[in-house]
A = this chain, B = another copy of it.
Amino acid sequence: MQKRILVTNDDGIYSPGIKLLYDAVSPLGKAIVFAPETPKSASGLGITLHKPLRVMRVKYWGIDVYLTNGTPSDIVYLAINEAVPQLDLVVAGINVGDNTSVQVILSSGTVGAAAQASLLGIPAIAFSANVEDANDFNDPEYAREVTRITRAISEYVLEHGLPEGIQVLNVNYPRKITRRTEVKLARMATIKFLQRVNVSYDPRGNKYYWMYGTMAEPEPGTDVYVVHVEENIAITPISFHLLTADTLIEKHSGYFEDLVKSIKLGEISV
């Protein structure tokens, strides 16, 4: 039976990144494109609970695509409900801008869609690229290589699934792909940006603040380093189950025993 693959992103349907992703995976099975009608960057795992969602089915790139006013995470559920009840793989991206570091990954809509799929037990891959803007995907050589590699990774995961305990592969492409580009299994950096606050005054003389980030110095071995300094491809296997620091509870059992004792349970205050 044909494999069913959900293709989504958080930059919206007009990003060339999602077209590359569709081109990459469509030879591998039945690819369903379901995207936000407008960009939903930094939506994380957000589900829209407070307002109704719309779904439009339109012709685009000569195929049927689904559009919604919801987030990438909503799309996983809408797709299962409206378009394809059983999914073999969810691919998200290819994001304009790499999704590297804990700081960036935890607020990424691209990784969020993949994470949401993983919570339902569906293997998921998030693809992102260190490009400045969506037009960089229009470079034919870059597009060809990114498509080829994205297909190879997706095909491998479709065939073999993800190893036990791993829920998402987070793939990040460098700005350029050449014969010397390598694939590295990279751990997440903690931060990518040093957040700064710019202070200024509006035309009426009132103070305002504008947040911006400057690149932090990346540590070798991290996804940020691999993509930005080495200009290689970083693959980071993500396990959300490991968020709970189980092994560290044991290691620091004295700390936690004392913490619990300090709470003095059963001593209800009066």
Binding site for B on A (CB under 8 A): 42-49, 52-55, 70, 73-74, 77-78, 81-82, 102-103, 105-107, 112, 115-116, 119, 144-145, 148-149, 152-153, 155-157, 160, 163-166, 177-183, 185-188, 190-191, 195-197, 199-200, 202, 206-213, 233, 235-246, 248-249, 251-252, 255-256, 258-260, 262-266, 268-269
Dominant SS at the A interface? mixed
Contact A252 B107 (CB under 8 A): no
Once the chains are docked, how many angstroms separate the CA of A252 from the CA of B156? 14
* Residue among A190, A265, A266 with most chain B CB within 10 A: A265
Point out the residues of chain B lying under 8 angstroms from A70, CB to CB: 209, 211
With A78-B197, A259-B156, A265-B183: A163-B52 Cβ-Cβ less than 8 Å:
no
6 additional A-B pairs beyond A48-B211, A53-B211, beta carbons within 8 Å, are A47-B213, A52-B210, A53-B209, A160-B255, A235-B259, A239-B242
Q: State whether A165 touches B248 (Cβ < 8 A).
A: yes
- Shortest CB–CB separation between residue A182 and chain B, in angstroms? 6
Given the interface pairs A195-B77, A208-B52, A268-B145, the reply to whether A105 lies near B263 with Cβ below 8 Å is no
Q: Are A149 and B53 in contact (CB under 8 A)?
A: no
CB pair B237–A248 under 8 Å, yes or no, is yes
Bound Cα distance from A112 to B102, whole angstroms: 12
Chain B residues contacting A235 (CB-CB under 8 Å) are 256, 259-260
A188 contact set on B, CB distance < 8 A: 240-241, 243-244
Instruction: Please tell me if the beta carbons of B183 and A260 are within 8 angstroms of each other in the complex.
Output: yes
Question: Given the interface contacts A52-B209, A212-B49, does A244 sit within 8 Å of B237 by beta carbon?
Answer: yes
Contact of A209 among B81, B105, B256, B264 (CB under 8 A): B81
**CB-based closest 5 A-B pairs:** A44-B44, A163-B252, A242-B242, A239-B245, A52-B208
**Residue of A183, A185, A245 contacting most chain B CB atoms (<10 Å):** A245
A246 CB contact (under 8 Å) in B187, B209, B268: B187
What are 13 A-B residue pairs whose CB atoms fall within 8 Å in the complex? A44-B44, A47-B107, A47-B211, A53-B208, A54-B207, A144-B269, A156-B258, A179-B268, A180-B266, A186-B244, A187-B246, A237-B245, A242-B243
CB distance from A22 to the nearest CB of B (A): 18
Contact of A238 among B47, B103, B243 (CB under 8 A): B243
When A77-B211, A269-B148 are in contact, do A239 and B243 touch as well, CB less than 8 Å?
yes
**Residues in chain B near residue A106, CB distance under 8 A:** 44-45, 106, 112, 115, 240
Residues of chain B contacted by A145 (CB below 8 angstroms): 268-269
